[in-house]
A and B are shown apart, each in its own frame.
Chain A
């Protein structure tokens, strides 16, 4: 089967750094993306890892280790507007389908 697991909820303080982990069990997987979704809204793209290692985009960074079937999203200098749900999503070989992880609800406190 294909599954990507994330912690269900994370709480952090404004200005802090938070890491959201994603572990996966799947075959035929070739890359990992991260999406942000505010309540009632569409997922918005944050980052993509096609290779092992760290990708940095502004306040967001994402990491992938294929050998460990593991990735994470790092959010720095947290702002109140970062309170949202975050999903890792795996790209499947051949079909190019995007399979979403279980999702993490991030709450940023003042």
Chain B
């Protein structure tokens, strides 16, 4: 089956620093990747849609200058949280859609738990 990995799985950073999270599709090419954020005991909230070779599309209320997304290849998208603050502490999950797959098939990564101290 299609596998999506994320790195790192956990990260702790100090307030004001930046942290980069990688999302990779391991055995398929992904035209589109999605980034979600999930706070404890809450649902997944879509942050942005990332298409290979083009600018990401951000959901309303998500600061594009704070959450930088790069989708440089068909197997890699990165999310950089810039100038992180404690309120950015959350579980970040990416998902990917296959280049040749069915539209409704979306594969999720294992998530990255970010803690900002």
Q: Which of A41, A42, A91, A96 contacts B32 (CB 8 A)?
A: A96
Judging by beta carbons under 8 Å apart, are B43 and A87 in contact? yes
Residue among A40, A42, A97 with max Cβ neighbours from chain B (10 Å): A42
A102 is an interface residue with CB less than 8 A from chain B: yes
**Interface majority SS (helix, strand, loop, mixed), chain B:** strand
Nearest CB on A from B14, distance (A): 23
Judging by beta carbons under 8 Å apart, are A42 and B110 in contact? yes
Number of interface residues, chain B, beta carbon within 8 A: 25
A41-76 residues at the B interface, CB under 8 angstroms: 41-45, 48, 50
Residues of A within 8 A of B107 (CB): 45
Residues of A within 8 A of B (CB): 31, 33, 35, 40-45, 48, 50, 87, 91, 95-103, 105
Residues of B within 8 A of A (CB): 32, 34, 36, 41-46, 49, 57, 91, 93, 95, 97, 103-111, 113
